[in-house]
């Protein structure tokens, strides 16, 4: 096992121990056992990928990422459960426990797949996985009700079928760990949407939450539908393009919008118009965001104009980080002035990004070829598959803390101590930390971390920049009250910055999750 993977695993183990130092319950032993067996399975799967023995084609030039991926959802469920327990919200405490058990079950399933296709069968790793699996199953039997166990199995079933579809249709787009996080999260969202749809007549939930669930599932259904359809017909003709636009409108207006209307018990467009017109600040924010969108489009066109002058021109790391700064400039005012609007706007933006990626991937006329031409300039080694996902991961990474922020388990939607920075986890980890590390590391860094292209100077400036960002947030956001918890905040930022330096996974996706987990403690 390379030094890169060993240090990455050490950082993840440190985060796991930090979480269980604060939170210790019945599932803690299971979590530690799961981390140990994931470490062993990652070693086996890395060897399997290097030998070319994988069943699916995963993203090259990266390790399997099993350990950081396996621990993300269980740790997330544990910290949410602790917050809900402290606030006395029994319903969401049980829901968080289901999240933890689901994360452990999906991780165990992925580990069993890895062991099943490894030849010769690794006996010691199988024994460790068996012990961890037995601990998880026994503990889940003790703490979960029958209906909750069924819910966990439902998510597992969706995960199995969705993994087969996604990994077959999209080779080289994911590592095994990234597939676990992405497909596992989507499976959980699909299960929650089905569950809420079946109970729609009994209760009326938060329209903003339902909007997120329907938009994500609806966008993915559109993609899967056309991916399967275009396996049997050419997608680049005008007839196919016209059919694409018509069917997208039919699916949106005939299925997705009625589905949302069923859940919120109101016409979605009327709700959205009233939501936007709720205050003048929302109109100002939307105007400001529109200006930033035009600015980002201008950077894309300007870089492509340079490529017209020099065929070898490729966007540099610094240029790609311009988009990180633009997204930070988008999210920070929204987090300070109107988090609900930011929540809805980020969901709409995600749906638009996915639709444009479908148009680019299938070469749908009239924009498909143009988008393919414009975005090729910004590709790096992480976009080795048929889809370009880094910009989508960037949006998801910054929006995840906003979507996950557990309002029902907080008093007036706020936390004291490090929890006050929870909604800013994506901004700090990706928008500030990753950007500064890349820019300063590539331009000024000289001392490289062992086994990586990342530099010590880049990591140090990343930590320093995030601390400055926290100080600025204390000035501009009056809802944040850190209560002298500065040492924990600095330690959390440092751990996540070290993870950024040593992980080969998509940092836009994994860093916000781990900083979110640490700040929730």
CA nearest to 260, candidates 213, 195, 202, 191? 213
Q: Is the dihedral of CA 454, 460, 463, 465 positive or negative?
A: negative
Residue indicated by tokens 């749906």: 351
**Beta-ladder partners of 411:** 414
pLDDT above 70 (res 315): no
Task: Report how far residue 9's alpha carbon sits from residue 3's, in angstroms, rounded to the nearest whole number.
Answer: 10
* Predicted structure pTM score: 0.92
Residues 360-364 have a mean pLDDT of: 89
In angstroms, the CA 218 to CA 222 distance is 6
Q: What is the pLDDT of residue 304?
A: 75
Contact 518/402 with Cβ under 8 angstroms? no
Window from 94-108, 201-215, 323-337 with minimum mean pLDDT: 201-215
Cis peptide before 496 (omega within 30 of 0): no
Distance CA(220)–CA(115), nearest Å, equals: 30
Q: Confirm if 204 and 96 have CB atoms less than 8 A apart.
A: no
Closest CA to 515 of 497, 503, 338: 497
pLDDT at residue 474, rounded to an integer? 87
What is the C-alpha to C-alpha distance for residues 322 and 339, in angstroms, rounded to an integer? 23
Q: Is 448 helix (H, G, I), strand (E, B) or coil?
A: strand
**Per-residue pLDDT tens digits for 388-414:** 888 899 999 999 999 987 666 665 555
Please say whether the beta carbons of 402 and 277 come within 8 A: no
Write the pLDDT tens digit of every residue in 23-63: 888 888 888 989 998 998 888 888 877 776 667 778 887 88
Q: How far is 470 from 477, CA to CA, in rounded Å?
A: 10
CA dist., res. 112 & res. 104, Å (int): 12
Joined tokens for residue 277: 């017109």
- In 3D, which of 360, 358, 335 has the Cα closest to residue 345? 335
Task: Check residue 316 and give its pLDDT.
Answer: 67
């Amino acid at each position: 096992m390379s030094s890169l993977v060993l240090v990455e695993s050490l950082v993840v183990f440190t985060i796991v121990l930090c979480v269980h130092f604060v939170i210790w319950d019945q599932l803690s032993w299971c979590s530690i056992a799961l981390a140990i067996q994931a470490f062993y399975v990652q070693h086996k799967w890395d060897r399997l990928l290097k030998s070319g023995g994988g069943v699916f084609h995963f993203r090259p030039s990266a390790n399997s990422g099993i350990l950081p991926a396996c621990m993300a959802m269980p740790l997330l469920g544990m910290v949410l459960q602790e917050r809900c327990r402290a606030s006395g919200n029994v319903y969401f405490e049980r829901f968080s426990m289901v999240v933890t058990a689901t994360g452990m079950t999906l991780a165990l399933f992925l580990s069993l797949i890895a062991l099943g296709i490894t030849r010769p069968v690794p006996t010691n790793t199988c024994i460790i996985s068996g012990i961890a699996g037995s601990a998880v199953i026994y503990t889940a039997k003790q703490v979960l009700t029958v209906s909750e166990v069924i819910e966990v199995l439902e998510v597992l079933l969706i995960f199995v079928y969705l993994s087969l579809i996604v990994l077959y249709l999209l080779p080289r787009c994911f590592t095994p760990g990234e597939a676990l996080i992405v497909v596992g999260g989507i499976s959980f969202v699909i299960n929650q949407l089905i569950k809420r749809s079946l109970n729609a007549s009994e209760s009326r939930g938060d329209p903003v939450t339902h909007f997120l669930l329907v938009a994500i599932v609806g966008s993915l259904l559109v993609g899967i539908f056309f991916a399967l359809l275009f396996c049997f017909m050419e997608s680049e003709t005008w007839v196919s393009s016209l059919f694409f636009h018509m069917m997208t409108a039919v699916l949106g207006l005939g299925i997705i919008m009625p589905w949302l209307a069923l859940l919120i018990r109101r016409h979605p467009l009327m709700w959205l118009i009233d939501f936007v017109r709720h205050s003048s600040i929302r109109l100002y924010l939307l105007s400001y965001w529109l200006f930033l969108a035009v600015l980002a489009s201008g950077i894309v066109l300007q870089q492509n104009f340079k490529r017209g002058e020099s065929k070898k021109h490729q966007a540099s790391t610094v240029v790609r980080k311009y988009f990180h700064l633009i997204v930070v400039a988008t999210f920070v005012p929204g987090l300070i002035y109107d988090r609900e609007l930011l929540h809805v706007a980020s969901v709409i933006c995600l749906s638009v990004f996915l639709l444009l990626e479908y148009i680019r991937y299938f070469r749908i006329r009239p924009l498909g070829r143009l988008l393919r031409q414009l975005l090729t300039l910004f590709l790096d080694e992480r976009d080795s598959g048929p889809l370009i996902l880094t910009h989508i991961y960037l949006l998801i990474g910054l929006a995840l803390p906003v979507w996950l922020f557990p309002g029902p388990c907080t008093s007036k939607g706020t936390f004291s101590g490090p929890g006050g920075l929870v909604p800013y986890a994506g901004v700090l980890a990706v928008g500030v930390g990753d950007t500064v590390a890349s820019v300063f590391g590539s331009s000024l860094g000289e001392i490289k971390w062992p086994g990586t292209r990342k530099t010590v100077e880049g990591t140090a400036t990343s930590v320093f920049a995030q601390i400055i960002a926290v100080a600025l947030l204390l000035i501009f956001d009056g809802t944040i009250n850190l209560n002298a918890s500065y040492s924990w905040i600095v330690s959390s930022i440092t751990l996540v910055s070290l993870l950024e330096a040593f992980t080969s996974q998509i940092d836009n996706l994994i860093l916000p999750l781990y900083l979110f987990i640490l700040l929730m403690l």
